Structure 1
Amino acid sequence: MCGIVGLLGNIEDGEILLDKMLVSQHHRGPDFTGKFISDSAKLGHNRLSILDLSENANQPFISNCKRYILVFNGEIYNYLEIKEELLNHYNFKTNSDTEVLLASFIVWKKDCLQKLNGMFSFAIYDTEKETLFAARDRFGVKPFYYFKKEEKFIFSSEIKALFISGIVKKANEKVWASYFAYGSYGLPNETFWKDIQQLPAGHYLEYKNKNLQVFKWYFFENEIKKHQQKKSFNVVKEEYKTLLKDSIKLRFRADVTIGFNISGGLDSSTLLALVNKIEGKEKIKAYTFYTNDKRYDELPWVEEMISLTKNPLEKIILEADINLKDKIENIAHMQDEPYGGIPTVAYSEIFKKARKDNVLVLLDGQGMDEQWAGYDYYLKNNNATIQGTKSSPFRKNALTKEFLQKAVKPKYPEPFKDAVLNKQYRDLFYTKIPRALRFNDRISMGYSTELREPFLDFRLVEYAFAQPLEYKINKTTQKYLLREIVSEYLSDSITYAPKRPLQTPQREWLGEELFNDVENYIEQLKDSKVSNWFNFTELDKLLKEYKQGDKDSSFYIWQWINLAMLVNN
Structure 2
Amino acid sequence: MCGIAGIIGTNYNKEDLEKMLESIKHRGPDASGIYQNGDCLLGHNRLSIIDLSTNANQPFSDTTGRFQLIFNGEIYNYKELKAEIGDRYNFRTSSDTEVLLASYIIFGKDCLEKLNGMFAFAIWDKKKKELFAARDRFGVKPFYYYKDAESFIFASEIKAIHRFVEKNPDEKTWANYFCYGSYGSPETTFYKDIFQLQAGYYLEFKDGKLQKHQWYDFEKRIKEIPSDHGSDSEVKRKYLALLEDSIKLRFRADVEVGFNLSGGVDSSLLLALVNHLHPTHNIKAYTFYTGDERYDELPWVEKMIKRTGNSLEKVKLSPEEVPELSERISFYQDEPYGGIPTLAYSKIFQKASKDGVKVLLDGQGMDEQWAGYDYYGRATNELIQGSGNVSPLRTGVLNKGFMKLAEKPQYPELFSSVIQNLQYRDLFNTKLPRALRFNDRISMAYSTELREPFLDYRLVEMAFALPDQMKIRGGVHKYMLREIVKEYVPFEIAEAPKRALQTPQREWLGEELRGFVNQGIEKLLNSEFSNWFDSKALRKEWEAYQNGKQENSFYVWQWVNLGLLI
Partner of 2:191: 193
Partner of 1:326: 324
Q: Which amino acid aligns with 1:375?
A: Y
The DSSP-based 3-state class of the residue aligned with 1:276 is helix
Q: Which amino acid aligns with 1:36?
A: Y
Counterpart CA distance in 1 for 2:311 and 2:506 is 32
The DSSP-based 3-state class of the residue aligned with 1:204 is strand
Query: Do residues 153 (structure 1) and 152 (structure 2) align?
Result: yes
Return the match for 1:341 from 306, 321, 339: 339
Query: Do residues 8 (structure 1) and 11 (structure 2) align?
Result: no
Asked whether the 8 Å contact 1:7–1:14 carries over to 2, the reply is no
Q: 1:281 to 1:113 in 2, by over 3 A?
A: farther
Query: Do residues 182 (structure 1) and 180 (structure 2) align?
Result: yes
The 4+ residue runs of structure 1 with deviation greater than 3 A are 279-282
The DSSP-based 3-state class of the residue aligned with 1:87 is helix
Alpha-carbon shift at residue 243 of structure 1 (Å):
0.1
Alignment of 1:164-175 (within 5 A): 164=163, 166-175=164-173
Counterpart CA distance in 1 for 2:206 and 2:475 is 53
Alignment of 1:271-310 (within 5 A): 271-310=270-309
Partner of 1:311: 310
Q: Which amino acid aligns with 2:4?
A: I
Q: Which amino acid aligns with 2:379?
A: N
Alignment of 1:140-539 (within 5 A): 140-164=139-163, 166-230=164-228, 231-321=230-320, 323-390=321-388, 391-539=390-538
Q: Deviations over 1:44-90 (max 9, x none)?
A: 00000000000000000001111000000000000000001111210
Alignment of 1:107-122 (within 5 A): 107-122=106-121
Asked whether the 8 Å contact 2:181–2:384 carries over to 1, the reply is no
Q: Which amino acid aligns with 1:152?
A: S
Partner of 1:560: 559
Alpha-carbon shift at residue 16 of structure 1 (Å):
1.3
Q: CA RMSD in A?
A: 0.8
Counterpart CA distance in 2 for 1:349 and 1:247 is 26
Alpha-carbon shift at residue 281 of structure 1 (Å):
4.8
Q: Deviations over 1:215-272 (max 9, x none)?
A: 1110001111232422111111100000000000000000000000000011110111
Counterpart CA distance in 1 for 2:547 and 2:13 is 54
Alpha-carbon shift at residue 17 of structure 1 (Å):
1.1
Asked whether the 8 Å contact 2:379–2:419 carries over to 1, the reply is no
Counterpart CA distance in 2 for 1:105 and 1:151 is 28
Q: Which amino acid aligns with 1:447?
A: Y
Identical pairs, percent = 60
Counterpart CA distance in 1 for 2:280 and 2:443 is 22
Alpha-carbon shift at residue 524 of structure 1 (Å):
0.8
Partner of 2:98: 99
Counterpart CA distance in 2 for 1:189 and 1:559 is 22
Alpha-carbon shift at residue 112 of structure 1 (Å):
0.3
Counterpart CA distance in 1 for 2:362 and 2:94 is 26
Counterpart CA distance in 2 for 1:529 and 1:15 is 34
The DSSP-based 3-state class of the residue aligned with 2:520 is helix
Asked whether the 8 Å contact 1:5–1:22 carries over to 2, the reply is yes
Counterpart CA distance in 2 for 1:83 and 1:360 is 24
Asked whether the 8 Å contact 1:5–1:157 carries over to 2, the reply is yes
Alpha-carbon shift at residue 376 of structure 1 (Å):
0.4
Asked whether the 8 Å contact 1:374–1:479 carries over to 2, the reply is yes
Q: Name the TM-score, length of structure 1 as normaliser.
A: 0.98
Asked whether the 8 Å contact 2:143–2:154 carries over to 1, the reply is yes
Q: Which amino acid aligns with 1:537?
A: K
The DSSP-based 3-state class of the residue aligned with 2:42 is strand
Counterpart CA distance in 1 for 2:281 and 2:154 is 41
Counterpart CA distance in 1 for 2:421 and 2:410 is 12
Query: Do residues 544 (structure 1) and 547 (structure 2) align?
Result: no
Q: Deviations over 1:524-545 (max 9, x none)?
A: 1111111110011110110000
Asked whether the 8 Å contact 1:188–1:201 carries over to 2, the reply is yes
Residue segments in structure 2 that go unaligned for 5+ positions in a row: none
Q: Which amino acid aligns with 1:356?
A: K
Q: How many residues align?
A: 564
Alpha-carbon shift at residue 282 of structure 1 (Å):
4.9
Alpha-carbon shift at residue 14 of structure 1 (Å):
2.5
Partner of 1:65: 64
Counterpart CA distance in 2 for 1:281 and 1:337 is 41
Counterpart CA distance in 2 for 1:362 and 1:97 is 18
Counterpart CA distance in 1 for 2:281 and 2:75 is 24
Q: Which amino acid aligns with 1:188?
A: P
Alpha-carbon shift at residue 15 of structure 1 (Å):
1.4
Q: Name the TM-score, length of structure 2 as normaliser.
A: 0.99
Q: Which amino acid aligns with 1:507?
A: R
Asked whether the 8 Å contact 1:377–1:385 carries over to 2, the reply is no
Counterpart CA distance in 1 for 2:43 and 2:12 is 15
The DSSP-based 3-state class of the residue aligned with 2:393 is coil
Q: Deviations over 1:375-430 (max 9, x none)?
A: 00001132112222221101111100100000110000110011000000000000
